[in-house]
Amino acid sequence: MMCEHKDIRAVSFVGGNNAGMYISEQCAKNNKRYQCNMAAKNHCIIMPDCDQKDTANNLVNAAFGIQYSL
């Protein structure tokens, strides 16, 4: 498994809670860096000075792979 392989230094995971908990525990046991976004998708930080309409369009397009315009 990736969490135990000697050549893999870090693991990034996006998915369900159960799998994320297992991955984080295994990585911790093997002293690997890990990032688990459990039950989440497409995190972002929106700054107050952004163009809100443009930002919303870009987020929808990035999250769902579609061309959408508000």
Domain extents in the chain: 1-39, 42-70
Cβ-based burial of 38 (10 A; exposed 0-12, middle 13-18, buried ≥19): middle
What mean pLDDT is reported for the chain?
85
Task: Specify the pLDDT at position 41.
Answer: 66
29 has pLDDT over 90: yes
Please give the average per-residue pLDDT across 34-49, as a whole number.
Answer: 81
36 has pLDDT over 90: no
Which two three-digit tokens encode residue 30? 């093997």
Dist CA 43 CA 25 (whole Å)? 23
Task: Specify the pLDDT at position 64.
Answer: 76
pTM metric for this prediction: 0.55
63 has pLDDT over 80: no
